[in-house]
Structure 1
């Protein structure tokens, strides 16, 4: 079980900038007050998301390691030097850095930048799980990708969700029931947003099979809703690719697998709310224990049961 780590750094003292900034970050010029540098980093298994914003431009060195790294400018320009190629990008595009070569990123003043680090094996394994076949490694990715397209925005929004500093996000990332599917979805959306030799294959139709594999997966979900149920895991157990399993699910149940996972977990949350008395737990605690964010949980619960979850917790006298 992977436990996430969270790290924050906030520097405002101009006189101590050199001593307080990370060793891989250098200012492009001598700072003057008011100065501010803030970075928030979330690391979980093969995935790391770091969001940094500052009043002054920086020169950031990304280490050479076996991971794909993505520089996403949220505000201000980004200049990068990677494998001898220079890139100049702004919001709406992301720089793509392949494994191993050391990379230098330079920002302008008053910038906001997200850097996403994805272990190469994790991304390549996910592509193979989607396709149901082996692919050459490492993947040959272009040096930039558009995040202004529909699928690019979906990926970037998920990255922002991971980088969010609220308690809800921390709870989602700490609970494997919600963190594992979130991580897998981020990898899938990344593979759909960027160009590579197998991109067209992800849009091709896949053959679907009889309902037996789907029925077996639904039984497993019913029996083990507390486990980190991911599409990749369910597909591997069924002996199918992710795309084939999803196609079978849509054909035989007319919903996606995530719908059944949410349905079963919502039922378990309902049972927990019935079991506990007021003061023994809260709606938020129950929602998070089953991998839900509190606000979407309240909305989904109301649609399913016809009344808010707090009413169930208070008991039938309030129905």
Structure 2
């Protein structure tokens, strides 16, 4: 076992047998067909939960995967070494260290790996990714998001996505017993970075969350202030409750109620009757 590999403690497969590689990768991700050109040296390390299947995968030989429509999940490949050629529906791209690929549930795919290709392979169930998108937008998502196939990793959003994936791999691979709440926080962070880092049909709506908070965000913050008068309620806490940035929430408070969140907290506490003995 190569301990320098991501998730090396979570080894699911190391084989030179193409059939074993096909069975294991199909079981972990989705059923597909595999053609291998050369001597295989396949390795898969994987961390799994209901919300995220996060793997480090390499075949060690030029390998072609024919994948039917995913139906109930999205899938993201972040290429760490080597290259792949991707055809997803009518779209084509090539991946390498600065470019990944996103697969939506609706089209078949063909992916050809170079012999030295190694990737983070991330399976994201539709129900959980779309629920996370809905939570970020504070609204029902009327249609499933559609993502660009090509994922640039050199811009700010792409670098943030790759950093989130590496953080997830480091944390999941380093700990033997992870509290559920901690794991859910890692998963939520990764899902958010996927939605922000891969261009999709909700990208514009997601960008406006931090830039222009509205009345709904103010109402969420006010409800929380009134319900928790004794808690420390700084700008970061209230912004998290409202699903926006601290700066955007401050602007919204000034616009909607004529004062900052901090001023509202002070006035709300001053207006409460004193506690008895």
The 1:125/1:27 distance shift into structure 2, 3 A limit, reads same
Which residue of the partner structure matches residue 37 of structure 2?
A: 29
Give yes or no for contact 1:42–1:162 (8 Å, CA) kept in 2: no
The 1:166/1:124 distance shift into structure 2, 3 A limit, reads closer
TM-score, normalising length: structure 2: 0.68
Q: 1:79 aligns with which of 80, 85, 91?
A: 85
The 1:110/1:216 distance shift into structure 2, 3 A limit, reads farther
The alignment covers a number of residue pairs equal to: 227
Distance 2:197 2:102 in 1: 12
| Deviation readout 1:264-301 (Å, 9 max, x if unpaired) | xxxxxxxxxxxxxxxxxxxxxxxxxxxxxxxxxxxxxx
SS of corresponding position for 1:22: helix
Q: CA deviation at 1:21?
A: 1.8
For structure 2, which runs of at least 5 residues remain unmatched after alignment? 1-9, 24-31, 252-259, 264-277
Q: CA deviation at 1:150?
A: 2.0
Alignment partner of 1:196 is 2:200: yes
TM-score, normalising length: structure 1: 0.60
Considering only aligned residues, what root-mean-square deviation do their CA atoms show, in Å? 3.4
The 1:139/1:167 distance shift into structure 2, 3 A limit, reads closer
Give yes or no for contact 2:33–2:67 (8 Å, CA) kept in 1: no
SS of corresponding position for 2:218: coil
Distance 1:61 1:22 in 2: 11
| Deviation readout 1:291-318 (Å, 9 max, x if unpaired) | xxxxxxxxxxxxxxxxxxxxxxxxxxxx
The 1:86/1:203 distance shift into structure 2, 3 A limit, reads closer
Which residue of the partner structure matches residue 18 of structure 1?
A: 18
Which residue of the partner structure matches residue 276 of structure 1?
A: none
Q: CA deviation at 1:125?
A: 1.9
Q: CA deviation at 1:170?
A: 4.4
The 1:218/1:158 distance shift into structure 2, 3 A limit, reads farther
The 1:77/1:18 distance shift into structure 2, 3 A limit, reads closer
Q: CA deviation at 1:133?
A: 2.0
Give yes or no for contact 1:155–1:190 (8 Å, CA) kept in 2: yes
Give yes or no for contact 2:165–2:190 (8 Å, CA) kept in 1: yes
Give yes or no for contact 1:124–1:137 (8 Å, CA) kept in 2: no
Which residue of the partner structure matches residue 243 of structure 1?
A: 244
Which residue of the partner structure matches residue 124 of structure 1?
A: 130
Which residue of the partner structure matches residue 183 of structure 2?
A: 179
Q: 1:55 aligns with which of 60, 75, 81?
A: 60
The 1:169/1:148 distance shift into structure 2, 3 A limit, reads farther
Distance 1:185 1:113 in 2: 20
For structure 1, which runs of at least 5 residues remain unmatched after alignment? 1-5, 223-229, 255-319
The 1:48/1:166 distance shift into structure 2, 3 A limit, reads closer
Distance 1:177 1:186 in 2: 14
Give 4+ residue runs of structure 1 displaced > 4 Å after superposition.
216-222, 244-251
Alignment partner of 1:215 is 2:225: yes
Give yes or no for contact 2:51–2:187 (8 Å, CA) kept in 1: no
Which residue of the partner structure matches residue 266 of structure 1?
A: none
Q: CA deviation at 1:143?
A: 1.6
Give yes or no for contact 2:213–2:249 (8 Å, CA) kept in 1: no
The 1:53/1:182 distance shift into structure 2, 3 A limit, reads same
Q: CA deviation at 1:26?
A: 3.3
Distance 2:67 2:11 in 1: 17
Q: CA deviation at 1:74?
A: 1.0
